[in-house]
Amino acid sequence: MATYKKADARAWARENLVGCSAVTIPSFSADLKRLNERGIRHDIEHAVGLGYSSTLLCSELAISVQENAQFTAWARESGKDLILFFHAAFGTLAENIEAVKLAENAGADIVLLSYPPQFWPTSEQEIYDYTKSFCDATDLAVMLFPIPLWGFERVHPAGMSLELVRRLLADCPNIAAIKSEQGFPLPAGICEMYYHFRDQVVISCPIEADAIPLMSLMKLQFSGTSNTAWMSDYYPKAFELARTGRFEEAMELYWKVNPARSANGAAAQTYAGGTGVLNRTMWKYQDWLAGFNGGPLRAPAMRVPDRLMKSLRQGLVAAGLPVTSDPDSAFMIGRHPC
């Protein structure tokens, strides 16, 4: 259960959403019939050890609402002080509401609000209605997530217009943060949301490559949720340096890891160019390189070609970041197979 009242969600977020969020993709048994408890606990403990203050419990894959609640409960036990994001990425509004209620009881702290692939709005009112219906149904704080993945650009060029966001903030008091990616990969979304709403809610720039440079101009307290834990403790360290006024030191680290960043950007282009689907297998492989559990994902799951595995591994080596010496063939087995 939440440690705050719904009416206090924004104050809670302002106080507690500080630092960086990892993304935890659940681990499964070798036969894919059940969750892998040891693998999940290992990943939560490893994220804490790297300095992450929160993590998104990724549900954008083949996992049931009941399994997601168990995933949340194990994460809560293994990361007692870790802020846990429920990922509202199930197939329908009703299913997301069912899932958030179970996750809330299991220990989730806040929601990252996604929209189902079958949700096909043709007006801002439809986006508003879906968002408000979800927010009304949970006592948890909600992070609004404008991004081109949803296809809302058919309604407005920004996907979620300034006017729509303003209306949602006025009518949904538990919207406590905005993961600002309108117009991605351009920085327009983060700039516009920060300009208008930084005094109302926490504004997150989840893109590591943008966040550190922008902190020379913006007072950002939180970054997430995104694929950064594969760079081990670099991002929590660099973000904290920039947040506390040591921008030059943060940029020294920033440039040092640029080979890894470049390899990641090149690999991401293989799926980000129009599918609207993130390659969670690649994200899990990247985390495995950095000591996380790894292991198989249920179908349908995207593949990671050997050439991309090699380039991602070499990017970490060139950046001087931790990388496993285990062969790539060990990835699908995982560090804690069951």
Structural domain includes residue 124: yes
pTM higher than 0.75 for the full model?
yes
Structural domain includes residue 135: yes
Mean pLDDT calculated for residue range 121-136: 98
At 272 the pLDDT is 65
Confidence class for position 1, pLDDT limits 50, 70, 90: confident
pLDDT in tens, 225-243: 999 999 999 999 999 999 9
Structural domain includes residue 307: no
Cα gap 230→64, rounded to integer Å: 26
Alpha helices in the chain (DSSP H): 9-16, 37-49, 65-78, 93-106, 124-137, 162-171, 188-197, 208-214, 234-243, 247-256, 258-272, 280-289, 306-319
Q: What are 142's strand-pairing partners? A: 111, 175
Q: In this structure, what CATH number is given to the domain that contains residue 225?
A: 3.20.20.70
**Does residue 273 register a pLDDT over 70?**
no
Question: 19 with 222: CB under 8 angstroms?
Answer: yes
Cα gap 99→82, rounded to integer Å: 20
Strands 202-204, 175-179: parallel, antiparallel or unpaired by DSSP?
parallel
Boundaries of domain holding 163? 6-246
pLDDT in tens, 198-229: 999 999 999 999 999 999 999 999 999 999 99
Structural domain includes residue 268: no
Structural domain includes residue 232: yes
- Domain tally, the chain: 1
Describe the chain by its helix, strand, coil percentages, rounded to 5. 50, 10, 40
**Does residue 290 register a pLDDT over 80?**
yes
Structural domain includes residue 312: no
Structural domain includes residue 105: yes
Structural domain includes residue 159: yes
pLDDT in tens, 308-328: 999 999 999 999 999 999 999
At 271 the pLDDT is 77
Question: 110 with 174: CB under 8 angstroms?
Answer: no
At 2 the pLDDT is 85
At 250 the pLDDT is 98
